[in-house]
Amino acid sequence: MASNCENCSFRKKYDKNPKSIFGRLWKWHTKFCPGWKKYFNSLSEEKKSELIKKYTLS
């Protein structure tokens, strides 16, 4: 099953307004979501770096 993380509606809401309730929910859920972790780990190192900077991920 393919990940929908690239087109996630919560992620789009975060991009539009990070302080919205759905934006904050998306950011919080990336800390434990197995789908996000699988998606993130499937990316190239360059793309991972971009997402880490964009979303201040640790």
Q: Is residue 3 part of a domain?
A: no
Structural domain of residue 40, as residue ranges?
Answer: 8-55
The band of 57, judged by pLDDT with boundaries at 50, 70 and 90, is confident
Mean pLDDT of 25-31: 93
Give CA–CA dist 10/26, Å, rounded: 5
Q: Is residue 45 part of a domain?
A: yes
Max distance between CA atoms of the chain, in angstroms, equals 31
Q: What is the DSSP secondary-structure string of 7-41?
A: G-HHHHHHHH-TTSHHHHHHHHHTTT-HHHHHHHH
Mean pLDDT of 31-56: 94
Q: Is residue 24 part of a domain?
A: yes
How many domains is the chain partitioned into structurally?
1
pLDDT given at position 4: 87
Give whole-number Cα distances, 47 to 9, 35, 37, 44, in Å: 20, 17, 14, 5
